[in-house]
Structure 1
Amino acid sequence: MNFDGLWIGQVAMAALMNVAFGFAVGSALLGAWLAKDGLPGTSPARPGWMRAQRSMLAATIVLVLADLGWLLYQAASMGGVALLAAFGMVPTVLTQTHVGYGWSVAFGGALVLLGTALSHGTGMLRSTVLWLAVLAIAAGKASLGHAADAGVVSAAIGMQTLHVLATSVWGGLVMASGLAVLPALGASTARGMLIRTATQVSNVSIVAVVFALLSGVFNAVRGSGGSFEAIQASTWGHVLTLKLVLVALALVLGALNRSSALPRLRRTASTMDAHTFVNVMYLEALVMIGVFVVAAALSHSVPAFAGLG
């Protein structure tokens, strides 16, 4: 593994893919929860619903562009050529490598997700297509990392797909809520909708966190070969440790909101308590962006088990 410009470019594009995908998933969930109350033009929930729709569209556009950028950097890295010369390598990567196959699935899902973001429907068909696209993106992204070394159909791919989905739901809800949607529900007339949406975010996040941690433990054990010494002695292990620290910080902030800020907001429905909840969510969102960035670096680092021989 060379920490050169191509590696940095790959990690940057992968980080952007992670953040954009999570933001799109979180915005889609929030948009669905707010759709019933947000559709009427005079509803206090409409600004939050509109923000969710716009956030999803912006995130899916970024996702599509980041996918294209990552493919170019990957082709340059695999072909050992400069970035501009990598355009000629792209067809070979797409048609003759498992990376190309996995990327094609993820990119196809991203295009479908963009199509649903551009549509203005709220029916069952749109929802079904949207979540099938999310599943395709998660499966494709899982096939781009080290899990693919175990085979296309393997427990490693399945657990990585679950991990991508769970972290995207958890992190996506936190980012979309804290950075976009919940601040748009700041009016006192929207306080009930803010409380209801915050409760939904908290409850769904708990379930996502459980699956993210379980699948994360599986991936960590597999990546380290079950050796703490390999974690301590490898770059991969150091990056993993940083990711765990950030995850722990996000969990602390989330627990603070759920155990203290949210119950107080339910009791008082005051502006101050609403701001407290949203501000803590904002901080958690920033931490989750860090988690996604470090996760991108981890997926592009040589696993610790490789050093075990």
Structure 2
Amino acid sequence: MVWPMLSATDYGRAGSLTVVVMSLIFALCLYRSNHHRNHRFALLILLAIFAATRASMGHAGEAGFWSIAMAVETVHLWSIGLWAGVVAVSGWQLLGMTARDKLNIDDRHYLERMSHAAMYAVIAIAATGIYNSWFRVGTLANLQNTSYGITLLVKIALVVVAIVLGGYNKYIGLPAAVRSPQALKHVRMVLQMESIVLFGVLAAAAMLTVQQPPSAM
């Protein structure tokens, strides 16, 4: 019963491909290559495929794999993953749990690139999120009176909180951290808080994929 579902349905094939791609991503993350550019390029391609297959398993997939809705949802999921990923790596791995006194030049360059990447991701999330909300929710009444709309509001609220935290670090925390060890601790704490909020955004996004949007009712 399981095999026919996996092999004979679009949902099953997309789910199977998602598992395969995820396994390849983990394998590449564990594999250390001297060809850094090729390694990163392969990871980006796999992440894009993962986002597309994951998007096809949600409401966007109903419009067809090559539809605008699929493209928008793929960019949306990829951007959320990018934002959450770079923030989590920065807060929990790069700066870590240890009390570091200062940032070295490589750390500063990475955090600057992280900040720019997060900013571009936020722009993409906002644009694609508005598109999705317009076509799936439709009216303010649907936003307030349906489980899909309420979950979407929670997701939007979490995104706003994450933007505020990220904005603090970009314009206040990071410039101060170059000069002050105490400010560096604040940057680490804010990054970790932002990553937790963003995982909440991911959870809300996952819930939206299994809820019926008002436009489909």
TM-score interval w.r.t. the shorter chain?
over 0.9
Partner of 2:145: 233
Partner of 2:65: 152
Rounded to whole Å, the distance in 2 between the matches of 1:257 and 1:127 is 26
Partner of 1:91: 3
Q: State whether residues 235 and 301 of structure 1, in contact with CA within 8 Å, keep that contact through their aligned partners in structure 2.
A: yes
Partner of 2:30: 118
Partner of 2:188: 278
CA deviations 1:12-40 (Å, max 9, x no partner) are xxxxxxxxxxxxxxxxxxxxxxxxxxxxx
Partner of 1:102: 14
How many residues of Structure 1 are paired with residues of Structure 2 in the alignment?
Answer: 216
Rounded to whole Å, the distance in 1 between the matches of 2:114 and 2:98 is 14
Matches within 5 A, 1:128-143: 128-143=41-56
Code of the residue aligned with 2:195 in structure 1: it is: A
TM-score by structure 1 length?
0.66
CA deviations 1:136-182 (Å, max 9, x no partner) are 11111011101011112100111111111111111111122222222
SS at match of 1:152: coil
Shift of 1:184: 6.3
Rounded to whole Å, the distance in 2 between the matches of 1:149 and 1:223 is 12
Partner of 1:73: none
Partner of 2:167: 255
Code of the residue aligned with 2:170 in structure 1: it is: R
Q: 2:91 aligns with which of 160, 178, 201?
A: 178
SS at match of 2:96: helix
Rounded to whole Å, the distance in 1 between the matches of 2:98 and 2:127 is 33
SS at match of 1:183: coil
Partner of 2:207: 297
| TM-aligned CA distance change 1:175 to 1:198, over 3 Å | same
Gaps of 5+ in 1: 1-88
Moved >4 Å (runs of 4+): none
Shift of 1:189: 6.5
Q: State whether residues 185 and 193 of structure 1, in contact with CA within 8 Å, keep that contact through their aligned partners in structure 2.
A: no
Between 1:123-132 and 1:214-223, the stretch displaced more is: 123-132
CA deviations 1:51-77 (Å, max 9, x no partner) are xxxxxxxxxxxxxxxxxxxxxxxxxxx
Q: State whether residues 102 and 181 of structure 2, in contact with CA within 8 Å, keep that contact through their aligned partners in structure 1.
A: no
Gaps of 5+ in 2: none
TM-score by structure 2 length?
0.92
Code of the residue aligned with 1:202 in structure 2: it is: S
Between 1:194-203 and 1:147-156, the stretch displaced more is: 194-203
Matches within 5 A, 1:215-234: 215-224=128-137, 226-234=138-146
Partner of 2:157: 245
Shift of 1:129: 2.0
Shift of 1:188: 3.8
Shift of 1:204: 1.1
| Superposition RMSD in Å | 1.7
Rounded to whole Å, the distance in 2 between the matches of 1:122 and 1:211 is 32
Rounded to whole Å, the distance in 1 between the matches of 2:41 and 2:111 is 24
